[in-house]
Structure 1
Amino acid sequence: MTHSTDTPVRAPLHVHPLTPRECAGIEQLVDQLAASFGSVETSEFADACALAAQELPRPLRELAHRFKHLHLPCSALLIRGVPVDDSRIGPSPAHWDATWRNPPTLREEIAQCLLTSALGEIFGWRTQENGRFLRHIVPIERDRGEQLGGGSSVTLVWHNEEAFHEHRCDFLSIVCYRNEERAETILATIDDFDVPDDLWAVLSAPRFVVLPDTSHLPDQNISAHWRLDDDAFERIRRMYAEPCPVPALSGSRRRPFIQVDEAYMRAVDGDTQAQAAFDWLIGRFNAHKCSVVLEPGDMLWIDNKRAVHGRSVYQPNYGPRHRWLRRVNVTMNLRGSMPLREHAVARHIV
């Protein structure tokens, strides 16, 4: 059953404030994991986290179960009150290339991975920060005009994470550490409008190509913490050179999945009918969008197969208190990506 504390903000977003008992249960599990791990960035931690998530308070496990199996009338869910210690986590980083081991945010990172693991298995991309599970989303001045998490001067347009990839995540979580600039996270879901038969026939056919976004390119992955493995980007290069046509909508007409990245997606060359249908779909998302200003301690769960998201334009307070979010991807089928991982227990997709 849905808990009485769950309240709708505006479809597709619902809110669940954590209760004191739920917070205590989370903190106890974080204590246990923090005693054994100084980093969340290992397969061993991810395995331990998956097991620990089975011990979360039952209301949270039930909430995750109902959300991921489409029992709730929403494609995004906001959990409020996740512990974030503003003084301990230190200044907002100037870049995503921050330390992996024993960071001041370790407890917050463990809590996010723990709660997110109630939805599935956490994983990373070798072509995005060398497989990092828990990414920093901070404003980067050189990227302010880009369609990247570090952008700010342009709207981050509608997208599913890694829409170009067949093993894109099923769900993602975003936790807010700071957002004094009041940037808005925007959301829309396919459930909020009907797709006419003629448009469904076009949008559900493989008449579109999606290119990898620039966060998966070598020049966006130069780091002081690892040596770039250029071979990992070979498949990305092939995707650019020979993109495989895909549908924008798939699955059940009643509860379809979506595969959309407005900035990197187009109809196949010369298919004006498909481009018009895609433009219609983007227009529907625009007409049915909602927005939320994330506060410290907010955790947003997004169904990456049923909702698109983006971000408003904002003016960063470049410095020690600028906007700071963290993101984790999860899949319900880790086994499916095994051919694209280094070995069976690795969680980094190439």
Structure 2
Amino acid sequence: MPNFKVASKPESPYVHCLAPRERLSIEAIVDELLHNFGSVETAEFADACSLSAQQLPRRLRELAHRFKYMHLQCGAVLLRGIAVDDHRIGPSPQHWDAPWRNPPTLREEVTQCLLSAVLGDIFGWRTQENGRFLRHIVPVLKESEEQLGGGSSVTLVWHNEEAFHECRGDFLSILCYRNDEQAQTILSYVGDIAIPDEKWAILAAPRYTIRPDKSHFPDQNVSAHWRLDDHAFARIQCMYADPQPVPVLSGSREKPFIQVDEAFMCAIEGDAEAAEAFDWLLRQFDDKKNSIVMQPGDMLWIDNKRAVHGRSVYLPHYGPRQRWLRRVNVTLNLRASLPYRESALSRHIV
């Protein structure tokens, strides 16, 4: 049985370089999926992907198993050596609003979904690009100073994806297509932080509120390819208008889960003690952070309930070779989100 070892220091996530045999096996499974699907953006593809992930090489499946059940003492795994064809994928998009069917990146999309599905079930948010499973992360000039994936001139501060929602993903995967600008992805892992009892008592109590980030608002979902009705945003609007108190820390004292969004989260008004504890935790993340300059073919698996992530300031090229990443959300319990989905077959949370 393979022996997975993790360094005791937090300088980097666990790194796994794909072996030639693993790459060949992945390519064969991707070929089969490509024969049957012209898009990754269907529930049928997501189901097929979940089944196909069971055919991945044992070492990859074991790595995913150990990571998702916290046998590895790290908040992220970096897979290296994934095939990204720089010529075939064409110019970097200038916006996330790109066609869904038969894109030039289809092979890369299928590969990422397959390697994400080994962790759990992929899904999308209806209020975020109409439920798209595989989001484009590219710099957008008008969003340069926003706390969004399109931002660049401000640091993207510590957060879990969709921290405001009880059905937020357990994991996410990020695949790098291009990063000529050498932007840094930053990570911090709660397992590297010693939390005193007095801080735990405060942070584990429902003394904080989180509002949805702007990517779930109607004006961030204007598309040339589809239109969302206002009712799709009804729950988001309620969550924004009346956020319910939540804790920052939950679960096991020894292996806590976190619920953090620095830009959209705060202590309940007047609770100075809770505000101070939250600021303390954020500074701990700063002290324990590590940075990764992702290269084409690098994929991060991030534990969305045990690690926070962000991005450095960088100077975008704003052109055909601008920074280009893709992101997929993964859940360990798709059934739990059924009250938020249109049907049991749907993979879109509304």
Q: TM-score range by the shorter chain?
A: over 0.9
Task: Tell me: CA distance 1:320–1:6, structure 2 relative to 1, closer, same or farther (3 Å).
Answer: farther
Q: Shift in Å at residue 11 of structure 1?
A: 4.4
SS in 1 for 2:310: strand
Aligned counterpart, 1:180: 180
Shift of 1:39: 0.2
Distance 2:7 2:271 in 1: 43
Matched, 1:99 2:95: no
- In structure 1, list runs of 5 or more residues that go unmatched: none
Partner of 1:63: 63
Q: Which residue of 2 aligns with 1:82?
A: 82
Tell me how far 1:8 sits from its aligned partner: 8.4
Counterpart for residue 139 of structure 1: 139
Q: What per-residue deviation string (whole Å, max 9, x for no partner) do you get for residues 293-335 of structure 1?
A: 0000000000000000000000000100000000000000000
Counterpart of 1:214 in structure 2 is 214
Q: Distance in 2 between matches of 1:71 and 1:4?
A: 9
CA separation of 1:2 and 1:154: change in aligned 2, threshold 3 A: farther
TM-score by length of 1: 0.98
Aligned partners of 1:265, 1:336: CA distance in 2, in Å?
24
> Displacement, 1:337?
0.4
Provide TM-score, normalisation by structure 2: 0.98
CA deviation string 1:214-270 (max 9, x = no partner): 000000000011012211100011011111000000011100000000000000011
Q: Which residue of 1 aligns with 2:200?
A: 200
Aligned length: 350
Change in 2 beyond 3 A, CA 1:177/1:8: farther
Q: Is the 8 A contact 2:39 2:100 kept in 1?
A: yes
8 Å contact 1:208–1:266 — kept in the other structure? yes
**Identical counterparts, % of pairs:** 68
Structure 2 CA distance for aligned equivalents of residues 175 and 312 of structure 1: 17
Q: Say if 1:4 and 1:349 are closer, same or farther in 2 by CA, change over 3 A.
A: closer
Q: Residue 101 of structure 1: SS of its match in structure 2?
A: coil
Letter in 2 for 1:321: R
Query: What is the distance in 2 between the residues matched to 1:318 and 1:240?
Result: 32
Given that residues 82 and 297 in structure 1 are in contact (C-alpha distance below 8 angstroms), is that contact kept between their aligned partners in structure 2? yes
Is the 1:12–1:75 contact (alpha carbons within 8 Å) kept by the matching residues of 2?
Answer: no
Amino acid at match of 1:103: P
- Give the alignment of 1:256-295 within 5 angstroms: 256-295=256-295
* Alignment CA distance shift 1:249-1:9 (3 Å): closer
> 2:6, 2:74 within 8 Å by CA — same for their partners in 1?
no
Report the more deviating stretch, 320-329 or 191-200. Answer: 191-200
Query: Are 1:13 and 1:74, in contact at CA under 8 Å, matched by a contact in 2?
Result: yes
Q: Secondary structure at the match of 2:55?
A: coil
* 1:152 pairs with 2:161: no
State yes or no: 1:123 paired with 2:136. no
CA RMSD of aligned residues (A): 1.3
The separation in 1 between residues aligned to 2:325 and 2:297, in whole angstroms, is 10
- Which residue pairs with 2:109 in the alignment? 109
Contact persistence 1:248–1:260 (CA under 8 A): yes
Give deviations 1:2-49, integer Å, cap 9, x for gaps: 557988894451100000000000000000000000000000000000
1:288-303 → structure 2 map (5 Å cutoff): 288-303=288-303
Distance in 2 (alpha carbons) for counterparts of 1:127 and 1:23: 35
User: 3-state SS of the aligned residue for 2:36?
Assistant: coil
Indicate the SS of the match to 1:35.
Answer: helix
Within-5 A mapping of 1:305-324: 305-324=305-324
C-alpha distance after superposition, 1:145-180 (max 9, x if no partner): 000000000000000000000000000000000000
C-alpha contact 2:10 2:288 (8 A) present in aligned 1:
no
Say whether the 8 Å CA contact 1:179–1:295 is kept in structure 2.
Answer: yes
Where does structure 2 lack aligned partners over 5 or more consecutive residues?
none
Question: Which whole-Å CA distance do the structure 1 matches of 2:152 and 2:208 have between them?
Answer: 28
